[in-house]
Every structure is written in C-alpha cells, then in structure tokens.
Amino acid sequence: MAMTSYKYILVATDFSKPAKAAANRAVEIATCFNARLCLLHVIEHFPEDAPNDWIAPEDHDPTEYLTERSMKALEKLNSQLEYDNIETHVILSEHSAAHEITQYAKQNKADLIVTGYHGHHGIAKVLGSTASSVMHRTECDALSVRSF
C-alpha cells in the first residue's frame, strides 16, 4: 500500500505547549513531502479560557486586540519553525474552533490537519477537546500530537 503524499498541511494552534509540539511534527511531515504548511489560529467569540494577558485593555477594541495578539503569536511561531513554505491565518469566529478548523481545511483542500492534544481529565475530557472534535468532523487525515 502506497503512503499518501501530503501537499497541504494545516496546523491548528492555540499557542500551547502541545500545539507547539504539533507544529514541530507538522514541519517534519511537510519536509518529507515538500508540502505547504499553514498555521491557523481561531479566535472564538468571547473565549472563556483566555489568559489574562490576552484580555484587551479598556482603551482597546477586544476584537482588534485579539487579532493583533494572535497574528504576532503566529509570526513568532512561524519564525521558530525551520521551514520556508508557511502561511499564517487568523479566523474570528462565532462558531467553535473545531468547526472553523474543519471548514478551513475543506475550503482550502488540506490533506492533513495536525493539532496538539492536552490530555485533559475530568469535565474537559467529558466535554471533549478541539482536537477530538476535529478528528470526528474532518474529511481529511488528522493527526493529534500529544505533549507531555
């Protein structure tokens, strides 16, 4: 059986340690296939779990502030990865991150979605993670990279 040749790999990132591990793994895979790589960050409408330093100061528009912070974080991640063919995108969404990731993958004909896996326990495990939701929704291959 022949191995699939990936041409366009989508890395969904929330800038966490597992997401960074996923981006590094995606670079390894992209290098093997000489594939294009896309770093995608989805800003959910009023994210409840946003770190304090991601909350807009009172004199800033929250949407613009989050978009600017996200683009800077994507640029930083991009500069840390040793790969030339990388695109970066930020999506503002009223839907779940998993919905936007799978829609983006479908619209842009991604062959593979790579996400980080946090390994949550308790209520987070019951509710499901973005990585798990992406795995169940996507029409292309998906890889969830666990970070310890």
Amino acid, single-letter form, for residue 137: R
What is the DSSP annotation of 51-105? -GGGSPPTTS-HHHHHHHHHHHHHHHHHHHS--S-EEEEEEEESS-HHHHHHHHH
Question: Are 124 and 63 within 8 A, CB to CB?
Answer: no
What length does the chain have?
148
Q: Identify the pLDDT of residue 115.
A: 93
Strands 36-44 and 86-93: parallel
The two structure tokens encoding residue 111: 């062959």
* Cα dist from 50 to 33, 36, 65, 76, 135, whole Å: 35, 29, 13, 19, 23
Domain 8-146 fold is: Rossmann fold (3.40.50)
Q: What is the mean pLDDT of residues 68-73?
A: 90
Q: pLDDT of 25-34, one tens digit each?
A: 999 999 999 9
Q: What is the pTM of this model?
A: 0.83
Domain ranges of the chain: 8-146
pLDDT of 142 higher than 60: yes
Q: Report which listed range, 30-34, 43-47, 62-66, 91-95, is most confident.
A: 30-34
Selected residue with higher pLDDT from 96 and 122 = 96
**Average pLDDT of the chain?**
84
